[in-house]
Amino acid sequence: MDSAIRGLNALVMICLGLGLGVWLARRRRLPWGLFGIGAATFVLSQIAHIPFNSLVLNRLLSALGWPDAASTGGLIGASVLLGLSAGVFEEGARYLTYRFWAKKARSWEEALMIGAGHGGIEAVLLGLLAAYALLQALALRGVDLTTVVPADQLQTARLQLEAFWATPWYGVLLGAVERLFAICLHLSLSVMVLQCFTRRQWLWLPLAIGWHALLDAVAVAAGVRLGPYWTEALVGLMAMISLAIVFALRQPKVAEPPPTAPLAPQVLQPVDEGPPTRDQLDDSRFSGGT
């Protein structure tokens, strides 16, 4: 049963990531290319985001004495910086995508498809990682770890395996629930950044960065102090606000005017004026000059 629940969690995460794209493609008749653009935007943002956190932000947190977040101030500071890092890189990448790649994607529906790709590929990748972790845990179950794990990593490996199998089924499924909430966030952020181009107001970009940073900061801080269940409750509330943002910024699709039929060529018909009169004949006799 434990293995089945963990496999179900990974499967649901993958299906959530792709399911919204399938629904939008069928219901709204949106091209899958927009989903791919959103997915590529997320991946490209992480190519810069992950090295920045590793090489710059983590060192900064260590210099400030915040890596363990033992104090409330350190926890809040670390959470805000981590949230801002995610917001700047992901929303900056989203802005650049609209600006230079998806130049024609300017409707509310197209923004949803791009957001579905952005959050969807994240859910798929995390689902694949969850499936890989399950396979590893199954492979090591009942195995003498001293034969496969280096001595200096043995205690860490044992603790990780114990924690993996000790998580109750409802705690395991929190992974899928969190991905659902995250997709709601990405939909709202995709629509918010679009306003920079439809409304021509650049302030929507810092608003999107701030909303992204706030949710991530709350998730990090609450995860340390409140535990996973209260954290997901708070994130779920913010996901509902994200959906409210999505529908508040909904713009009706402008219907294209029907094509006008070309005018048929008009053929001039000769006017039948009857036989010429005697006066007309007399006039025509002198109309050519002398």
What is the domain extent for residue 186?
A: 2-256
**Other beta carbons within 10 Å of 86:** 20
User: Which residues does 202 contact at the CB level (< 8 Å), separation at least 6?
Assistant: 196
Percent share of the chain, pLDDT over 70: 86
Q: Is residue 264 part of a domain?
A: no
Q: Is residue 280 part of a domain?
A: no
Q: Is residue 101 part of a domain?
A: yes
Residue that has been written with the tokens 């932000």 in this structure? 57
d(CA 124, CA 182): 12
Cβ contact 87:210 at 8 Å: yes
Q: Is pLDDT of 272 > 90?
A: no
pLDDT of res. 237: 98
- Rounded to two decimals, the pTM is 0.84
For residue range 233-242, list pLDDT tens digits in order.
Answer: 999 999 999 9
Q: Is residue 286 part of a domain?
A: no
Residue 251 DSSP symbol: -
Q: Is residue 150 part of a domain?
A: yes
What is the number of structural domains in the chain? 1
Q: Is pLDDT of 154 > 90?
A: no
Q: Is residue 288 part of a domain?
A: no
Q: Is pLDDT of 263 > 90?
A: no
Q: Is residue 210 part of a domain?
A: yes
For residue range 21-64, list pLDDT tens digits in order.
Answer: 999 999 999 999 999 999 999 999 999 999 999 999 999 998 88
From the list 101, 125, 124, the residue with the least C-alpha distance to 34 is 101
Residue 114, helix vs strand vs coil: helix
Q: Is residue 266 part of a domain?
A: no
d(CA 94, CA 152): 42
From the list 116, 89, 121, the residue with the least C-alpha distance to 105 is 116
